[in-house]
Structure 1
Amino acid sequence: MSRLKNIYRLGVKELWSLIRDPMMLVLIAYTFTLSIYVAATAMPETLHNAAVAIVDEDGSPLSARIAQAFYPPHFNTPRLLTLTEMDAGMDSGDYTFVLDIPPDFQADVLAGKSPRVQLNVDATRMSQAFTGSSYIQQMVSDEVNEFVRRYRAPTALPVELNVHTRFNPNLEQSWFGSLMEIINNVTMLSIILTGAALIREREHGTIEHLLVMPVRPLEIMLAKVWAMGLVVWSAALIALIFVVQGTLHVPIQGSLALFMLAVALHLFATTSMGIFLATVARSMPQFGMLLVLVLLPLELLSGGMTPRESMPRLVQDLMQAAPTTHFVTVAQAILYRGAGLDVVWPALLAIAVIGSVLFSAALARFRNTISQMA
């Protein structure tokens, strides 16, 4: 009981130290509020409210049908331009796409000819230009084909592809962006808080005070783990309820309690990792450099941004030793697909095992560091 009291009191001390650090409080607040909102709504890699204009030289029902196919959220409502206004609008950057429908377009289509429609693209907006050009080409083809079928006998296709989009029917990027931002921020902030707490004590000289107290390195380390883990765990829960579900209206498919259990296991691993890195680094700048070397591979190669199946086999095997790989798998299964414990328990077990290994390594390193200081 005395050890548990020591762990509890040392953890409370860590919380008070965090409260007295305004920069850390600002970082926590930003990470689990504005950062999530920006990741969900900015969507730089998707086609969203793209500026489009149409030069209708035909003035036919078919050209009007094509113009009406552009609507939010992929495109802004298109503006009708004259041919002389097209170049000026593109030069000034007012439009990302300008579609020029030539004269006699409908007549040539009905006559069986192959008229050409000119699509002018502002390629300086690369993400929208690449996605939007193929999207517009498909839209124009679909509208022309449907228009022609009204005047000719429909042609039966030998195969009809029936697409069913599961888990995200409208392909909303905000659903993916907001939840993945929480997953990544849990990893990032837990490592930063625990590592910074240890380095701050070393720089302020308070670690020497702990050495003369009747506490063990295990108790000191467990106190930092539960205190900083509790902060990140609580912030993630608040962000899920008030930012993701409340502000962004992103549905959570699975059990929130099961996901928070996965977060707790993951925090056990990442806070241990933060303490290990803090024992390696000698100052806060060194700790920051180590964070770059560790966080980037953890976030980029864990399957959160790109499917792990598309990565080289060697990378897939190496990342099995990272807790983030299994945490991303669990989080996506629960939050996106509504998976239960019967589906995600192997990944949860893997997180617990990896966390135990990281905790043991961090504890050994922490003991060695304290013995050198003593």
Structure 2
Amino acid sequence: MLERLKAMLIKEFIQVLRDRRMRFIIFVVPAVQTIVFGYAVNTDVRNVATAVYDLDNTRESRELVARFVSSGYFNVKEYIARESRVRDLVDRGKAKAVLRIDSGFGRTLGAGNTAPVQLILDGTDSNTAGIVLSHAVRIAARYSEDLQAGQLARSSGRVQSPGGVHLESRAWFNSNLESRNFYVPAVITNIVFIITMLLSSMAIVREKEIGTIEQIIVTPIRKTEFILGKTIPFVIIGFIDVGLISAVGAYWFDVPIRGSFTLLFAATGLFLMSSLGIGLLISTVSRTQQQAMMSAFMVIFPAMLLSGFAFPIENMPTPVQWLTLLNPIRYYLVIIRGIFLKGTGMDILWPQLAALAVLGLVILLFSVRRFRKTLS
């Protein structure tokens, strides 16, 4: 058995790695994708393109604009001189926010009254618009508090701020609230899932397409040996890719790895059982590599969207939440984020590890049973 399995492994490694372009796709492209997606998948909102329509042009209005600029969230691209320019900038996407200050703003504040200010937002991206609005509200509220404190000091003759509540916040595990630290581990998960699943989805169908499946059928190799010979090389490739792109995430993006590497690779082994099992199942039901690739992408995109990668599972409808329980990416995401950011161990992550083990065994066993060492 070992001799037959060894021969199968050697054949599969040669077939996968003999092509220079395939080696590039397997080992270089994942690292490049991690870098590209690590920069692209980022929900931090800074330097929002902003236009200012200041009809007052007083010291008070200029102070408010200066506070928006100094916050780092708003980048003033243009000072508008006419009303029609507001719609033009928003329609063309050149401004995501327009700060409008009406005439009499400074006079109203000087009289001790509340002066309205309008912030026009491009609501096409509702998430970004909501974050921009929260930043603007906080800046305006701070400016209002400072004005009230100054007026109180002048009226009483003493420099004394009014009483209030000051909230001191502290974020654990991601103290600077960098969205990249949250998304880079997810990017690693998705890349490993895509690479290993695509490779395994073409493993058997490639033999059918090029006509070598007939030669394998007449050999004494058993079905289990054939499946192991097809999957073990991709398991090794999966571990190499996890180590490679984890290093990119840690050293290029400074994403912390606080947990155990041993636990990370153990969880990766369980995760690969599912990704390779799904790929093998696709390979057994497909007749051509094109069919296999199209079928793989029909699985990849729903699996990524229903994993909690970008959208919280808790916000999904209840039936969809139940559907995510069959998604191995969901569990591996919790594990890899816990290991990277929180340093959590087996005592916390064992439910996700158990779910991966069960899913992986079921999918892999079903794929093996589905494979028949026949041409039909």
- What is the TM-score normalised by the length of structure 1? 0.86
Total equivalences in the alignment: 366
Please provide the CA RMSD for this pair: 2.9
Residue type of the alignment partner of 1:156: G
The residue number in structure 1 matching 2:143 is: 143
User: 1:308-365: per-residue Cα shift (whole Å, max 9, x none)?
Assistant: 2233333333432332222222122212221012211232122122212222111111
Task: Tell me how far apart the structure 1 counterparts of residues 77 and 306 of structure 2 sit (CA, whole Å).
Answer: 43
Residue type of the alignment partner of 1:182: I
Offset of residue 55 of structure 1: 4.5
Question: Aligned pair 1:18/2:47, yes or no?
Answer: no
Task: Tell me how far apart the structure 1 counterparts of residues 270 and 168 of structure 2 sit (CA, whole Å).
Answer: 40
Task: Tell me how far apart the structure 1 counterparts of residues 315 and 124 of structure 2 sit (CA, whole Å).
Answer: 28
The residue number in structure 2 matching 1:246 is: 251
Matches within 5 A, 1:44-123: 45-56=43-54, 57-60=56-59, 63-64=62-63, 66-71=65-70, 74-76=73-75, 78-79=76-77, 81=79, 83-84=81-82, 87=85, 90=89, 93-122=93-122
Relative distance call for 1:72 and 1:37 in structure 2 (3 A) is farther
The residue number in structure 1 matching 2:156 is: none
Relative distance call for 1:268 and 1:5 in structure 2 (3 A) is farther
The residue number in structure 1 matching 2:194 is: 188
The residue number in structure 1 matching 2:163 is: 156
Out of 267, 286, 309, which is 1:281 matched to? 286
The residue number in structure 2 matching 1:371 is: 374
Task: Tell me how far apart the structure 1 counterparts of residues 171 and 222 of structure 2 sit (CA, whole Å).
Answer: 54
Offset of residue 208 of structure 1: 1.9
Question: Aligned pair 1:133/2:133, yes or no?
Answer: yes
Structure 1 residue runs without a partner (length 5+): none
Offset of residue 253 of structure 1: 2.6
User: 1:144-176: per-residue Cα shift (whole Å, max 9, x none)?
Assistant: 22332233264434x654432222222212212
Relative distance call for 1:79 and 1:289 in structure 2 (3 A) is closer
Offset of residue 80 of structure 1: 6.4
The residue number in structure 2 matching 1:312 is: 317
1:70 partner SS = helix
Task: Tell me how far apart the structure 1 counterparts of residues 124 and 276 of structure 2 sit (CA, whole Å).
Answer: 42
Residue type of the alignment partner of 2:95: Y
The question of whether the paired residues in 1 share the 8 Å contact of 2:328 and 2:359 is answered with: yes
The question of whether the paired residues in 2 share the 8 Å contact of 1:90 and 1:122 is answered with: no
User: 1:193-237: per-residue Cα shift (whole Å, max 9, x none)?
Assistant: 111122212111122222222311111111222101211220121
- Matched residues, percent identical? 28
User: 1:39-84: per-residue Cα shift (whole Å, max 9, x none)?
Assistant: 22124754233222434543415632542343576333x3562525
The residue number in structure 2 matching 1:323 is: 328
The question of whether the paired residues in 2 share the 8 Å contact of 1:46 and 1:127 is answered with: no
Between 1:30-39 and 1:257-266, the stretch displaced more is: 30-39
The question of whether the paired residues in 2 share the 8 Å contact of 1:66 and 1:143 is answered with: no
Residue type of the alignment partner of 1:81: Y
Relative distance call for 1:176 and 1:115 in structure 2 (3 A) is same
The question of whether the paired residues in 2 share the 8 Å contact of 1:66 and 1:140 is answered with: no
Matches within 5 A, 1:220-299: 220-241=226-247, 243-299=248-304
Relative distance call for 1:96 and 1:321 in structure 2 (3 A) is closer
- What is the TM-score normalised by the length of structure 2? 0.85
1:150 partner SS = helix
